[in-house]
Amino acid sequence: MSTAAHASSSSLPSPAAAVAFGLDTFGDVTVDRAGEPVPHAQVIRDLVEQAVLADSVGVDAFGIGEHHRPDFAVSAPDVVLAGIATRTERMTLGSAVTVLSSDDPIRVFQRFSTIDALSNGRAEVVLGRGSFTESFPLFGYDLAQYEQLFSEKLDLFAALLPEEPVTWSGELRPPLVDQRVYPETEGGLSAWIAVGGSPESVVRAARYGFPLMLAIIGGPAGRFAPFADLYREACGRFGTGRLPIAVHSPGLVAETDDAAARLALPHWLDNRNRIGRERGWGDAGEAEFHREVRSGALYVGSPETVAQKIATTVRTLGLDRFDLKYASGPTPHEDLMASIDLYGRRVIPRVRELLTEAGYEPGVAQTVSRL
């Protein structure tokens, strides 16, 4: 090989550079430095500032979740994303997730195609059934139809994505005959399916040709290796080609491991135990928090600690993207901003270094810790 050819090949980006790193939030109601809850309206304004910072420090994607309860400020993530679209330049903007079961697929498509226009093609929608059920009675849906609602609405949404006239029929809404939906996008709308651990949902994502977002909120990431393997196998069976796999997990970054744990622990416990009591779980304690930080789904620590753990997860599952849910419970806005800054400026570059050193290629799992 000539010197010129060698220089050219060595300057090419490594395959690991293609891995994307995002941030997700549910708009958790925060507290101020005095421990007082911040009003919903201010939480939403702060969330926009968090997104603007994320865009400026190199984060690749920003997702906002949908909830309809007092401890979360965002019930209409698409509206917040539209505002963020006008103040950011490079990040992908999406939901985390859109509860499709209690929404109208046509309106979901229209709202996100509008965000796509405002953002110059940066919109995506992550579709899911959601882990909360408040939206069902709020919008007049029967929880007894939980599975049927999602299946039928997903089928309709998939039919909309080619942006051609749609003829479709189901049991839960009137049929469509040669119907177009507007506004049209300039380059197509990206859509994912979020899965919490159901093999049937993993296979369904592959059958429709949707990228897969695995929500891992407890236990070691390696437990989800069979789902990643199943998804790749199903994609091959359905002839969809290789599709991206991402992970969404909670965490917080601070200058040191001790500082991160001190900041995250009380707010994680507040969130975990408030929701746990609603669902009949026993209360978690400090030991569970530290166990999840050490070997589970909490990415809490210094930039180096968090980067090492993310890199291991990416390699173990063969990921194309990792999203850190950077707010868990009422963590103050100032601490969230500091975490975002460290994630963008120090964690992401370090993860890319680690993946390059390991010879990582997106979509190809490396045996690291699949237990």
* Per-residue confidence (pLDDT) for residue 14, from 0 to 100: 87
pTM confidence score: 0.94
* Per-residue confidence (pLDDT) for residue 6, from 0 to 100: 40
Structural tokens at position 333: 């806005």
The average pLDDT across 190-197 equals 94
Q: What are phi and psi of 31, to 5 degrees?
A: -120, 155
Proportion of the chain above pLDDT 90, given as a percent = 89
* Per-residue confidence (pLDDT) for residue 11, from 0 to 100: 55
**Confidence category of residue 2, pLDDT binned at 50, 70, 90:** very low
* Per-residue confidence (pLDDT) for residue 367, from 0 to 100: 76
Q: Which position has the higher pLDDT, 222 or 5? A: 222
**Residue 106: which residues within 8 A CB-CB, separation 6 or more?**
156, 160, 181
pLDDT above 90 for 78: yes
Each residue's pLDDT tens digit, 275-321: 989 888 989 999 999 999 999 999 999 999 999 999 999 999 999 99
* Per-residue confidence (pLDDT) for residue 167, from 0 to 100: 98
* Per-residue confidence (pLDDT) for residue 315, from 0 to 100: 97
283-292 own/partner pairs: CB under 8 Å, 24+ apart: 289/261, 289/264, 289/265, 290/261, 292/218, 292/219
Q: Do 239 and 219 form a contact (C-beta atoms < 8 A)?
A: no
pLDDT above 90 for 328: no
**Confidence category of residue 138, pLDDT binned at 50, 70, 90:** very high
* Per-residue confidence (pLDDT) for residue 13, from 0 to 100: 77
* Per-residue confidence (pLDDT) for residue 369, from 0 to 100: 55
pLDDT above 60 for 343: yes
E strands, the chain, in order: 20-25, 61-64, 92-95, 98-99, 124-128, 166-168, 176-179, 190-195, 212-215, 245-253, 299-301, 321-325
* Per-residue confidence (pLDDT) for residue 65, from 0 to 100: 97
* Per-residue confidence (pLDDT) for residue 298, from 0 to 100: 98
pLDDT above 80 for 5: no
Q: Letter for the amino acid at 237?
A: R
**Confidence category of residue 12, pLDDT binned at 50, 70, 90:** low
**Confidence category of residue 130, pLDDT binned at 50, 70, 90:** confident
**Residue 7: which residues within 8 A CB-CB, separation 6 or more?**
none
Mean per-residue pLDDT over the chain, rounded:
94
Q: Do 305 and 361 form a contact (C-beta atoms < 8 A)?
A: no
